[in-house]
Amino acid sequence: MTHAKTLTRITYLVLLALLLTAPMLGLYPVFVMKLLCFALFACAFNLLLGFTGLLSFGHAAFFGSAAYVTGWFVKSQGWTPEMAIVAGGVSAGLIGLVVGLVAIRRQGIYFAMITLAIAQMIYFVCLQASFTGGEDGLQGVPRGDLFGLISLQSDTTLYYFVATVFVLSFLAIGRVVNSPFGQVLKMIRENEPRAVSLGYQVDRYKLVAFVLSAALAGVAGSLKTIVMGFATLTDVHWSMSGEVILMTLLGGVGTFFGPVFGSGIVISLQNLLADKVGSWVTVIIGVIFVLCVLTFRKGVVGELQAFRERRRRAAL
Amino acid sequence: MDIFGIPHQAFLGQLLLGLVNGAFYAMLSLGLAVIFGLLGIVNFAHGALYMLGAFAAWILFDQFGLNYWYALVLAPLIVGAIGVAIERLFLKHLYKLDPLYGLLLTFGLALILEGVFRELYGVSGQNYNVPEQLSGATDLGFMILPNYRAWVVLVSLVVCLGTWYLIERTRLGAYLRAGTENAPLVQTFGINVPLMVMLTYGAGAGLAGLAGVLAAPIIQVSPLMGSNLIIVVFAVVVIGGMGSILGSVLTGLGLGLIEGMTRVFYPEASSIVVFVIMVLVLMVRPAGLFGKEN
């Protein structure tokens, strides 16, 4: 095992330990849970942008519609939380299938514009549909009993459930990226014409990546509903799509841990600043966006990796 | 007289409203297409620049007492100057990168502009009066035509055709088109390409600003007026394809009309009809109605 790999492994073990002990360390559990939901959202998004090279500007549609679906099943149908989360993920995946079929007909900048436009359409549907509660959204969604047995009313119980879902999803993304399928995705990112010339049906791979990413974004949205107890239009709004892009970009596009780190920064920043500066938060987010694009496009984790790489080269 | 069971006054009224919206789509998508052609950047800040144009008109009146006609000239110049500054300060550094970075940077700029105006003026809109020369309405016999709406359609048509003439029929336009095809080659012929790029972005921004001034008396001047519009305009651009100028103008006007008609027959769908058409067009002609497959 190389030095770098050992280092990565140790980092992950430390982070896992931190994750498991967070409630004991006096961190506010609901805050950490919210953070984990957005971290999962960003990781799902990164599967598409970082590992397939497709910039979707409409991921809020998957996050938000799954949030609504879960909220509706729990609140109106009395489903247990895990079933409602599965329902949210599946419906987000199905919406992703339809959106993906349309969007992958164009590339690059057009792909971004198309996903943004379709997401805006879904936003309007959520605004007008009867089961979403319109402007008010779905409020007071109960946490329910996991498998109908374990009450999630206590923050600590819910925390470990959310942490488990997060870790499993994170590992699943890692498994996908490192599989032969993931290698094909990377090839598409690096050189699409070459992938075509080697006989890969590029569109199919892109579509599967899109659906996977949408479904996982849906799981993140569903978890968010269970944790926060509401699903609103904010979840499907285009600014949410922008936020997840920022989280990923800030942390490091195409790195494993970058999106987690990026969402940590953005969510903490919003939490810290919300009471103090009001709507300047939008401005600050905008400024970070601009700085990120102009000065460190690799993101925090990406720049760190690049720095380590340079050091290693210099040492040789 | 009824048209499909709808009183023809209401029908024509909505159609006119659609045409006015279409005029805005046309002007904004035209600016987007010109900017994209030369800079390779999809300008997300276009909606924010449109909002700036409307606010410039409102502030010129509110703070300096300058009326609509001054604003019609000054506001596009101000917004154009802001556009030039944006190009010099930010966009200049992105030309060698993936075009997606341009989209992300201008998205950030749009958030900043919107956030600042929201902090200064709140989300509720400001009223801007129709200039008295254009207030009132003309009875055409078959319908009552509000003068200001007719003016908006007229101005935008003149501006769009003027832009088309400038780009397709003049020497300056020839440089611009050549720059779009192959900028380094044009540079070797002694043409100052960076200057041209800067002015193009400025002109596109000015066009958005002009649309903002035109819109100010019709809708509430609010910080959020641009961001919702820009997404529809993106859909318009995808439907039309960014290849042809007349194409984007026609697409803009046509979609405005279709939206107006939807508002008559099935109001619930009026906010999504453009997106539905976009999906249908993508199924049949992925490159857009007037675009070329590359």
What digits encode the pLDDT tens for the residues A266-294?
998 888 887 777 778 889 889 998 998 99
Give the distance from residue A131's alpha carbon to the nearest chain B alpha carbon, in angstroms: 16
Given a cut of 90, is residue B238 above it in pLDDT? no
| pLDDT recorded at residue A68 | 94
pLDDT-based confidence at residue A186 (cuts at 50, 70, 90): very high
Nearest CA-CA partner of A263 in A225, A301, A215, A291: A301
- If you average pLDDT over residues A243-265, what whole number do you get? 90
Residues of A within an 8 Å Cβ radius of B: 55, 57, 102, 105-106, 108-110, 112-114, 116-118, 120-121, 124-125, 128, 238-239, 242, 245, 249, 278-283, 285-290, 292-294, 297
d(CA A13, CA A16): 5
**Which two three-digit tokens encode residue A138?**
């779905």
Tell me the pLDDT tens digit for each residue of B110-123: 999 999 998 888 88
Q: Up-side HSE of residue A74: CA atoms within 13 Å toward CB?
A: 34
What is the ipTM metric for this complex?
Answer: 0.87
Angle between helical axes of A202-228 and A81-103 (0-180°, round to 10): 150
- Structure-token pair, residue B134: 């254009």
Phi, psi of A260 (to 5 degrees): -65, -45
Q: Which residue of B has its CA nearest to A245?
A: B104
pLDDT of residue B220: 86
| Among chain B residues, CA nearest to A289 | B108
What is the mean predicted confidence (pLDDT) over B141-152? Answer: 85
> How confident is the prediction for chain B on average, in pLDDT?
88
Q: Which residues of B touch A294 (CB under 8 A)?
A: 90, 93, 105
Output DSSP code: residue A248. Answer: H
Residue B247 confidence (pLDDT) above 90: no
Phi, psi of A104 (to 5 degrees): -75, 0
CB within 8 Å of A90: residues ≥ 6 apart: A215, A218
Residue B20 has pLDDT above 80, yes or no: yes
Mean pLDDT, residues A85-96 taken together: 95
Residue A230, both tokens: 């509401």
Alpha-carbon dihedral A86, A91, A94, A95, rounded to 10 degrees: -140
The arithmetic mean of pLDDT across residues A89-109, rounded, is 92
| Global confidence as pTM | 0.89
Q: Which residues contact B179 (CB under 8 A, 6 or more apart)?
A: B38, B186, B191, B193, B196, B197
Do A62 and A217 meet the contact criterion of CB atoms below 8 Å apart? yes
Q: Please, which residues bridge with residue B146 across strands?
A: B137
* Closest CA in chain B for residue A99: B279
Nearest to A116 by CA among A212, A238, A248: A238
Contacts of A8 (CB under 8 A, 6+ apart): none
Whole-number pLDDT of residue B293: 57
Distance from C-alpha of B233 to C-alpha of B211, rounded to nearest angstrom: 13
Distances (CA, A) of A188 to A53, A195, A198, A205, A251: 8, 6, 11, 9, 23
CB contacts of A254 in chain B (<8 Å) are none
Q: What is the DSSP letter of B138?
A: E
Mutate one of A59, A110, A130, A291 to test the B interface: name it (highest B CB count within 10 A).
A110
| pLDDT (tens digit per residue) in A122-148 | 999 998 888 887 777 788 778 877 787
